[in-house]
Amino acid sequence: MMSASLARIITTKTDLFRQCCLPLLLLVLSLFLSACTTTTVDEFRQGETGIEAHQSIVILGRRQGSTYETREEFVTCVGERVARGTEAIRVIPEKEFIDSLFPWFEPRTAPLRTSDLQVLMEEPLVAQKITEYGIRYIVWVDGQTETSNRMGSISCAVGPGGGGCFGFGSWEDDSNFDARVWDVSSFASVGTISTDSTGQSYVPAVVVPIPLIARVEANACSSLAAQLQQFVNGG
């Protein structure tokens, strides 16, 4: 029979493990359990940039393509990251901007060239709204994440004594995004930032499936946002 003091020591040690070691172990595991990603960022500058504290930018997704459309979540991710940090820029949320300027930035009506923007700004209601928001740059994000090379299979079974999975699966993700920056004050394109991020994800399963997911789109988002922030600030 276990004495009360020994039981207390074991309980205390278990609590100590839960409080200190378990989060550390989970952190280490999560670091090992994420697959590798390669990201390349290119910048093509066509003009001088810079932004005042009272000015803002809007990041919009291109949705004119018939085969794909830029995901709203990716655009939001880039916007949130550009609005963070020591060089933060005021970013108008995409949905708010599109609704506020309805119907001029819908997939069918949005300006495709800077000359279209110049024509659009001749509409007094549009010009007034853009001035009210203090928008200096419009950033058009265009791209998608494609999954290819799916391989392997995982089988799972459940019985009276329990269940489990066995097998192996893998796939490759490739995120390609362009951000074209338009200067609203000069109706000119001032540059393009491109990001290409690839990564292979794996899911080995021996009783329990262990997903090793490559965070391809998240890496594309953070790389694009960091470069865009620097670009708009004139760096």
Partner 1 sequence: MSVLNSLKKLGPLCVALLLSACGANSVVVEGSYPSPNVRPIPLTLGVFFDADLQNFSYTEYTETGKEEYVVASGQTHMQLFNSVLPSMFANVVVLDSLEAAPGAQVDVVFAPSIEEFQLALPQKTRLDAYEVWVKYNMRLLAPDGAYIADWVVTSYGKTPTESLRSVEAGINDATVGALRDLASNFTLTFRSVPEVSEWLETKGAGN
| Interacting residue with partner 1 among 38, 99, 210, 235 (CB under 8 A) | 99
Interaction of residue 125 with partner 1, rule CB under 8 A: yes
| Interatomic CA distance for residues 182 and 226, integer angstroms | 18
| φ, ψ for residue 81, nearest 5 deg | -75, -35
| HEC letters along 51-82 | CCCCCEEEEEECCCCCCCCCCHHHHHHHHHHH
* Residue 171 contacts partner 1 per CB under 8 A: no
- To the nearest whole angstrom, how small is the minimum distance from the Cβ of residue 211 to partner 1? 13
In terms of CB distance, is 104 or 166 closer to partner 1?
Answer: 104
Measured from the CB atom, is 69 or 172 closer to partner 1?
Answer: 69
CA dihedral 213, 217, 219, 224 (to 10 degrees): 180
Closer to partner 1 by Cβ: residue 54 or 108 = 108
Q: Does 104 bind partner 1 (CB under 8 A)?
A: yes
Q: Which stretch binds partner 1 (CB under 8 A): 24-32, 44-52, 98-106, 168-176?
A: 98-106
Half-sphere exposure of 86 (CA within 13 A, CB side): 0
Q: Which is nearer to partner 1, 43 or 69 (CB)?
A: 69
The two three-digit tokens of residue 8, written as one number: 């207390």
Q: Please identify which residue in 64, 109, 153, 233 interacts with partner 1, judged by CB under 8 A.
A: 109
- DSSP tally for the chain: helices H, then strands E: 7, 6
Q: How far is the CB of 120 from partner 1 (least distance, A)?
A: 11
Helix, strand or coil, per DSSP, at residue 29: helix
Q: Mark out the alpha helices in 103-215 (DSSP H runs).
A: 114-120, 124-133
103 near partner 1, rule: CB under 8 A: yes
Q: Write the interaction track for partner 1 spanning residues 18-47; mark x where CB under 8 A is met and - where it is not.
A: ------------------------------
Residues that bind partner 1 (CB under 8 A): 69, 71, 99-104, 106-109, 123, 125-126, 129
